[in-house]
Structure 1
């Protein structure tokens, strides 16, 4: 049996509007200048502490946590709904579960926020579990949990950033880098992606080689 772990932001959905607006909200609250939304897209994917450490040019944990708190204040209330599901994603999920593939979400977001997004898109029925990075957790910890729940089965990690590929490599998962998100082909290759895919059809073709099933036209 094949098990697939999907990243969320930049892989299943495009969260640009909500994330960039929430970052700017946090920057204003801590007295830092706002940035152009397009300049903030590079921060979609990494953990929040890394994002604000870089933007604010500080390692002061108190300042970083204050910014994260303001970010979540806006994101939890409205930001998570400023989100668009990528084309054909729901159809892909349907194909995979019909073929007996177990699906998970593994994201750097908090679990409660990730579940809210999946519920917002009405995708709960496709996933065995939605896993987020809560206190002191990293993405590879989530993948270890998935492996433990599915002992002996092949795990695929699908994501758009180096963080996803690095997490997959740490647990010896096969890694698919998607190019419709926010990571470049250079970033994904450097992080050890087994394959890069430009669209959902190419993604299904690769999963087919691992799971050995015929892919229906979307």
Structure 2
């Protein structure tokens, strides 16, 4: 049995349409220039406060909070339904569960929003728990919580961005980087990925 923590955005589902449109919605509400969806895909994965601090070129907490609030207004009303499950993911999750593995989601999204995405994609039956960061927790804390629940077993972290690999390394997890998301091979390797996978089905070859 293996305990596996999956990132959500860029790992299980492609959130590009919902995230980029919601970022632009927030920028428009703050009177900032909107950007092309293509230029915004680099911001898929990091926490929202980092995203808007960078885009708005500010450390002003009130402005960042206003942007996050606007983002969530759109994302939670429609954006989460614009997620697209990556081809092959459902079969991979099903096989892992049948193998006796215990699956978690550890995402920088707020927990309630992450659960809405998971339920929309009808993935909830595969996971022991969906854990989100929001503004109060860091991803490595989510992994520590999982380790606490599954104290007898090692942890595998699967994600597409440096934040996932850094979090995994901080708790001595095996770190698997996926290349179908939004992080490059260089980003993932530099941040500690021990193996890189090109397609979801390759997860089974590595873990089973």
In the TM superposition, residue 149 of structure 1 has moved relative to its aligned partner by 0.2
Q: TM-score, normalised by structure 1?
A: 0.94
Q: TM-score, normalised by structure 2?
A: 0.99
- What residue is the counterpart of 2:123 in the other structure? 123
Is 2:88 the partner of 1:101? no
Is 2:206 the partner of 1:202? no
Kindly provide the CA deviation profile for residues 164-206 of structure 1, in whole angstroms up to 9, marking residues without a partner as x.
0000000000000000000000000000001000012322211
- What residue is the counterpart of 2:40 in the other structure? 40
- What residue is the counterpart of 1:6 in the other structure? 6
Q: Is the contact made by 2:2 and 2:154 (CA closer than 8 Å) also made in structure 1?
A: yes
List structure 1 segments (4+ residues) > 6 angstroms apart after TM superposition: none
Number of corresponding residues: 208
Secondary structure of 1:22's match? helix
In the TM superposition, residue 6 of structure 1 has moved relative to its aligned partner by 0.4
- What residue is the counterpart of 1:149 in the other structure? 149
Kindly provide the CA deviation profile for residues 110-146 of structure 1, in whole angstroms up to 9, marking residues without a partner as x.
0000000000011111000000013420000000000
Kindly provide the CA deviation profile for residues 81-118 of structure 1, in whole angstroms up to 9, marking residues without a partner as x.
01100001000000000000000000000000000000
Kindly provide the CA deviation profile for residues 33-64 of structure 1, in whole angstroms up to 9, marking residues without a partner as x.
00000000000000000000000011111110
- What residue is the counterpart of 2:193 in the other structure? 193
Unaligned runs of 5+ in 1: 209-218
Output the CA distance in 2 between the equivalents of 1:200 and 1:67: 33
Unaligned runs of 5+ in 2: none
